[in-house]
Amino acid sequence: MASLLRKVELFYDVLSPYSWLCFEVLCRYQKIWKINLHLRPTYIAGIMKSSGNKPPALLPLKGKYMLMDLEYLREFYQVPIQVPKDFFSVILEKGSITAMRFLTAINMENPEMLEKASRELWMRVWSRAAKKAGLSEEQAKGLLEKCSTDKVKNSLKETTDVAFNYGAFGLPTVVVHVDNKSHMLFGSDRMELLAHLLESWKSSGKTKSKVTDNGPGCSG
Amino acid sequence: MASLLRKVELFYDVLSPYSWLCFEVLCRYQKIWKINLHLRPTYIAGIMKSSGNKPPALLPLKGKYMLMDLEYLREFYQVPIQVPKDFFSVILEKGSITAMRFLTAINMENPEMLEKASRELWMRVWSRAAKKAGLSEEQAKGLLEKCSTDKVKNSLKETTDVAFNYGAFGLPTVVVHVDNKSHMLFGSDRMELLAHLLESWKSSGKTKSKVTDNGPGCSG
């Protein structure tokens, strides 16, 4: 049965609130959509650097819009995002290398805790409602020590390179594996499309366009 | 009855394929969502200049991704977008000032033809299946002459300024008017959110967040 599940990789960084939305939608729907979800902690600054992209909030009007957009999406997706008061310093200055190395270490040592720990980190950055992921003090200490090892550092770097090689220019990036092909989707706003593609790939093996060239036929 | 309809403005440019998707979705759902749709031809290069934004396709990886994204969305939305072979020259070099002045002139002289004429222009740029909007040769000639008048030029400039003053940094930009307040949404990927917001604004007069701070409660 497991072999019938399509593998879907989510490349994410806890600095990205849109990654959080994507993460929660995929966690909620993984059974309904019959996907084998692989959580891939990634370093967003690495993706930005490799691709030459810039964080959207650097453009003042986009930054301003994001505040309202996240407020609406918080309610739409029922994910308790609360934009911190020092929004710009969080996104643009603090960086996420330690957090993402920590999640990489968890993925290597205690992969079963990765989902909860990722959610806890988002809650800490993006919500006032942080909860404990259930790590013991000893476990947390051990993982923090591992963060500075080359093994963990290289693993995060490798994952970031993998995402870039799929064509990523930002996060969240979702890669769907079907029939030995990979399909990349960018952003939390392609989830309805993902559900649709999973369905059409299931029935036909590939997406076939049903659109004819006889016009849209969609006058209002 | 008409006064109960919420006014929704769509600021668009036919150079933007995502504006086309947004346009078709709004045309299809305007009766179901009980909105009073106002089509506002806008000049995208003016918005980019005022806001300091740049067309996404300028970043090579985004440009590459857009090709695939539009292919998927064509099928998802059943809008016959076909990316022209000279994609980059269409988006980045040709410009849309004449097309958008033409639509502005139509909006001033024959507003009842604006929807069809806009669709025809998108079809010409973004599809191989252009149809006639039903303008007579005489009408078309008259409108083309009007394009170079100050009245038409200023009208397009004014609309572009209005969009910028709402906070637009790109197109499509949708502005919803509820209870003497304006709410701006950016992009063709906020249509599900728009439907949700229209519903919640109807019932409560404003959006109330139902999200508590007790955690997302959405473990997969």
Query: Cβ–Cβ of B73/A213 closer than 8 Å?
Result: no
| DSSP per-residue string spanning A178-208 | ETTEEEEEESGGGHHHHHHHHHHHHHHSS--
Closest partner CB to A75 (pick from B37, B211, B220)? B211
pLDDT in tens, A98-126: 899 999 999 999 999 999 999 999 988 77
Candidate from B78, B131, B167 with C-beta closest to A211: B78
How does pLDDT run across B6-19, given as a tens digit for each residue?
899 999 999 999 99
> pLDDT digit string (tens) for A146-191?
888 999 999 999 999 999 999 999 999 999 998 888 999 999 999 9
Out of A75, A183, A184, name the one closest to residue B207 (CB): A75
Cα B200 to Cα B115: distance, rounded to the nearest angstrom: 28
Chain-chain contact of B215 with A24 (C-beta, under 8 angstroms): no
Return d(Cα A64, Cα A60) in angstroms, integer. Answer: 6
Quick one: DSSP state of residue B99?
H
Tens digits of residue pLDDT in A27-86: 999 999 999 999 999 999 999 999 999 988 889 999 899 999 999 999 999 999 988 777
Residues of A in contact with B53 (CB under 8 A): 59, 61-62
ipTM attached to this prediction: 0.84
One-letter amino acid identity for B108? M
Q: Which residues of B touch A207 (CB under 8 A)?
A: 72, 75
Task: Sort out which chain B residues have CB atoms less than 8 A from A78's CB and list them.
Answer: 210-211, 216, 218
Residue that has been written with the tokens 């992209």 in this structure: A53
Backbone angles phi, psi at A213, to 5 degrees: -95, 20
* Global pTM value: 0.86
Enumerate the residues of chain B whose CB falls inside 8 A of the CB of residue A37: 220
Q: Do the Cβ atoms of B218 and A24 come within 8 Å? A: yes
Question: Cα–Cα distance between B118 and B116 in angstroms, integer?
Answer: 5
